[in-house]
Amino acid sequence: VVSSTAALDEVYANVKAVMSRNRVKPKPIADNIVFVLGGPGSGKGTQCAKLVQDYGFTHLSAGDLLRDEVTSRSEVGVMCAKLMKEGKLVPMEVTIGLLKTAMERATLKSFLIDGFPRALDQGLAFSESIQEPDFVLFFDCPLETMTERLLERSKTSGRDDDNMDTIRKRFDTFTAQSLPVLDAYKEKGIAHVVSSTAALDEVYANVKAVMSRNRVKPKPIADNIVFVLGG
């Protein structure tokens, strides 16, 4: 029995609680969700671009969404800019909210979520408020190789964070935050580690093998195919 005398949102919250107690789940927001992790310079961005092309994924970067929000000068963006300027972390709820909004707006409902989660509590909150990831794709690359790639990229990228001091800080953050996340998903049996030191095509072949093992199929080459025969 649910009292319907309260405000609409409060009544609906109680209705959802009944659904939860009876193990009735909301419809999923996505067909597939893949968390993509890897250090700076591991090549995950390049591999994500190939997956988007061949599998029809929507590629979302938590960092890009946050930067876009700051650029938009929205109320949330102004708050985030202030926190970032002070060297403080943006609240987890904001990051997850931006991801959820982007997912709801997307036309293609299979997602590569790049660089997320960066901490265990982020992954748990995402699963509770949005949906469990189907699996995690981790690009493993030695620090020396990633450093070489980033320094080479710095010659043409114009990115402020492609310098040696910033690279070291990014590696320290990655090691401290992301590796425990990987270990947690390994324990759940949904983490797949791909070495990204080989040639691009070889790495991508291994990535496609992971997709196949998880029953993720390439997008069809056509919506409809009709053979037309006649004398």
DSSP run (H or E) holding 39: none
Q: What is the pLDDT of residue 158?
A: 60
Evaluate if residue 86 carries a pLDDT over 80: no
Phi-psi region of 56 (alpha: psi -120 to 50; beta: other; left: phi over 0): left
Q: What is the pLDDT of residue 143?
A: 86
Q: What is the pLDDT of residue 152?
A: 82
Averaged pLDDT of the chain: 89
Q: What is the pLDDT of residues 31-57, one digit of tens each?
A: 999 999 998 889 999 999 999 999 999
Q: What is the pLDDT of residue 15?
A: 92
- Using CA atoms of 70, 76, 78, 81 in order, give the dihedral in degrees to the nearest 10: -60
Evaluate if residue 178 carries a pLDDT over 70: yes
Q: What is the pLDDT of residue 228?
A: 95
Q: What is the pLDDT of residue 31?
A: 92
Measured CA to CA, the distance from residue 36 to residue 46 in angstroms comes to 12
Average pLDDT rounded to a whole number, residues 93-116: 94
Average pLDDT rounded to a whole number, residues 210-231: 90
Q: 3-state DSSP: the chain helix, strand, coil percent, rounded to 5?
A: 55, 10, 35
Q: What is the pLDDT of residue 87?
A: 64
Q: What is the pLDDT of residue 29?
A: 83
Kindly state the tokens that stand for 84: 């970032």
More confident residue, 140 or 169: 140
* CATH numbers and ranges of domains, the chain: 34-213 (3.40.50.300)
Closest CA to 113 of 49, 35, 214: 35
DSSP run (H or E) holding 83: helix 75-85
Evaluate if residue 161 carries a pLDDT over 90: no
Q: What is the pLDDT of residue 162?
A: 58
Query: Which range has highest mean pLDDT (125-129, 195-199, 203-207)?
Result: 203-207
Kindly state the tokens that stand for 220: 């069809």
Average pLDDT rounded to a whole number, residues 88-115: 92
Measured CA to CA, the distance from residue 137 to residue 131 in angstroms comes to 17
Q: What is the pLDDT of residue 5?
A: 93
Evaluate if residue 81 carries a pLDDT over 90: no
Evaluate if residue 144 carries a pLDDT over 90: no
Average pLDDT rounded to a whole number, residues 217-225: 86
Kindly state the tokens that stand for 55: 């599998």
Q: Tell me what percent of the residues of the chain surpass a pLDDT of 90.
A: 59
Evaluate if residue 138 carries a pLDDT over 80: yes
DSSP state of 2: -
